[in-house]
Structure 1
């Protein structure tokens, strides 16, 4: 479902990725681990089309994304890829429901349909009673579940998560981890997760170890 071949990336004289070959199957929950500076986040950003490699190819859901122009790439990203970040990145002036609707509105879904879909996502994630609350009124765990709902609203091919539980306490961290696997089981959702959390990595279907910009095992 995701195929990376020969991915390299440098920032000035610093080579961050050194020829990455990686295939991820539909419905897999895959973790990417490694020391700080190994290139994990850079790899995730390239996989998510937020950054471009210096060389190599990226095929996602049958589409070679390197060949898409900026407008088509942006539309493809919005439809096919969901993102969950360490600090949720919810817009503080909007409610949980409004935050979740945004990707659907960008895709061109009508406001009424987007709200209905967003409410269904929040209901599924146990946030029915928090839909009208703004981020400042939500707990850390609730914010991350809203972020997951936002990532899922367009039914993406893959959800890419960068240290999604890094800012959570133990209980909320464990609940978020269980949520990823529940969503895989219910929806067949594919997840690629960059993490330092050994407990989460041990639960995933496969762990990719990245050291000095190379996959070592």
Structure 2
């Protein structure tokens, strides 16, 4: 489903990625691990079309996404790729429900249908009673589950998560990890997760070790 071929990336004279070849199948939960500076986040951002490689191909669902024009790429990203970040990235002025609705509205879904889908997603994640609360009124675990709901709202082909449990306490971290596998089992969702958490990496279907810009 995802295929990376010969991905390289440099920042000035520093080459961060040195020819990455990687294939990820539908329904896989894959972790990417490695020391700081190994290029994990850069690889994830390139996979998610948030950054451009210097060379190489990114193929997602048979579409070579790095050949798309910027506007086409943005539309493809919004529909096909969900993102979960370490610090939630929720908009503080909006409620949990409104935050989850945003990608659907960007995708051209009507407000009525976007609200219905967002309510169903929050209910699925056990957050119905928190729908009208703003991020400042939510716990860290609740905020991250809202972020997961937002990532899933357009039924993306893949969810890319960058240290998703890095800011959570042990209990919320374990709940989030269980949620990823529940979503894979119930929805067939594909996850690619950059993590330093050894317990999460040990649970994933496959662990990719990135060292000095190469897959080890």
TM-score, with length taken from structure 1 = 0.99
Q: Deviations over 1:39-74 (max 9, x none)?
A: 000000000000000000000011001110011000
CA RMSD of aligned residues (A): 0.2
Q: Does 1:175 align with 2:175?
A: yes
Match of 2:119 in 1: 119
Match of 2:135 in 1: 135
- Any unmatched runs of 5+ in structure 2? none
Aligned residues: 216
Bigger mean CA deviation after superposition, 64-73 or 169-178: 64-73
Q: Distance in 2 between matches of 1:196 and 1:67?
A: 32
Q: Distance in 1 between matches of 2:117 and 2:19?
A: 40
Q: Distance in 2 between matches of 1:69 and 1:5?
A: 19
Q: Distance in 2 between matches of 1:82 and 1:62?
A: 18
Q: Deviations over 1:162-197 (max 9, x none)?
A: 000000000000000000000000000000000000
Could you list the runs of 4 or more consecutive aligned residues of structure 1 that deviate by over 3 angstroms after TM superposition?
Answer: none
Match of 1:62 in 2: 62
Give the alignment of 1:1-217 within 5 angstroms. Answer: 1-216=1-216
Q: Distance in 2 between matches of 1:100 and 1:168?
A: 20
Q: Distance in 1 between matches of 2:33 and 2:61?
A: 24
- Any unmatched runs of 5+ in structure 1? none
